[in-house]
Amino acid sequence: MKKVMVMTGLILSSGFQAKAVNDSMDVSNTFNGMLLDDCDACGCAAGNGSSGFESLLNPQFIGIKYFAQHYKAKENLFVKDLTQDQYFNTLQLWGKIPLMKKLSIYAGLPFHFHEKNTQQGDIRINGIGDLNLMGIYQIVNSKDNVHQLNGGLGIKVPLGKFDEKGISGVNPGFQLGTGSWDYQAALNYKFQKNKLAVLINTDYTIKTENKKHYQFGNQWNYAATGFYQITGNEKTILSAKAGLQGEIYATNRQYGEALPRTSGSSLYGKLGFEASYKRFSLGSELMLPAYSGLAGGDIEAESRFSIFLNIGI
């Protein structure tokens, strides 16, 4: 089943219209990054992966993206080894629409289908996740387009189901949603010169207490990604990318009390590509952990994979 999910993702998921390329590279049209990867939920680690928002600079688009995460977790408190496989899969509809010259709005609606393998049998949950909405504003754009700085403010609407029983497991983030209204702020800086570009992204999510009196810890994501244009013409562009991405999770709380072994951090290395043909673009990314310190060692990051397909509007 998991192989079927991945193959389905390979067929799916960015969108922009390629411009003529001479000796330089237009990042705004060649790099459709990950814009707040919503895996949505929740708390320390599993289920809440993000790679910042690297597509601030792209024109308007609508598209679909598949995002998969794999973690190892302790089966229970009496087991020392990390024996439980946890798979978080998300299929997301997303889009970015300009409102004014410097102001755009981003929206992303995910559908999750998660699975974990336990000694009592496999547990699966699936359904709609939390809706992400963000306003994106261009703060700086140098005359030669070498430097660009963008910022965003957003909100996460709790459409996904929060299951109170799920917080009793090793990973309370095995959820469809946080059950809370959460708030986001993000910054994106781009340096571009000829066929090379560097994007530095950071975003922070403030998570509030939900109706079940549970509050997932705030989350800080950061990433640095380098791009190189391999080839390009008036219709087609192909670029490779590589970089690092980190995530830091604060402690979860219940009825205002801090919960032990719920904070943590992780660092990933990533490789990928992005390609465009006319109004269509396709991209993929593989991430492997360089460091994993999640839930006091009770959860270990294994891998992440994403692929997206968009069309310019």
Structural domains counted in the chain? 1
Whether 39 is in a domain gets the answer no
Res. 53: pLDDT tops 90: no
Whether 42 is in a domain gets the answer no
Report the C-alpha gap between 251 and 258 in whole angstroms.
6
Report the C-alpha gap between 96 and 188 in whole angstroms.
15
CATH number at residue 94: 2.40.160.40
Whether 4 is in a domain gets the answer no
Whether 172 is in a domain gets the answer yes
Tell me the CA distances in angstroms from 113 to 28, 47, 55, 214, one per residue in order.
32, 11, 25, 22
Whether 163 is in a domain gets the answer yes
Whether 288 is in a domain gets the answer yes
pLDDT in tens, 103-133: 999 999 999 999 999 888 899 999 999 999 9
Q: Report the residue count for the chain.
A: 313
Q: CB under 8 Å to 38, separation ≥6 — which residues?
A: 50, 90, 92, 108, 110, 129, 130, 132
pLDDT in tens, 225-238: 999 999 988 888 89
- Segments forming the whole domain that contains residue 132: 61-312
Report the C-alpha gap between 3 and 16 in whole angstroms.
29
Report the C-alpha gap between 289 and 309 in whole angstroms.
25
**Greatest Cα pair distance in the chain:** 62
Which pLDDT score, from 0 to 100, does residue 48 have? 54
Whether 32 is in a domain gets the answer no
What's the predicted TM-score (pTM) here? 0.85
Res. 17: pLDDT tops 60: no
Tell me the CA distances in angstroms from 96 to 27, 67, 134, 236, 301, one per residue in order.
16, 18, 9, 22, 30
Which pLDDT score, from 0 to 100, does residue 267 have? 96
Query: Kind of pairing, strands 84-98 and 61-73?
Result: antiparallel
Whether 27 is in a domain gets the answer no
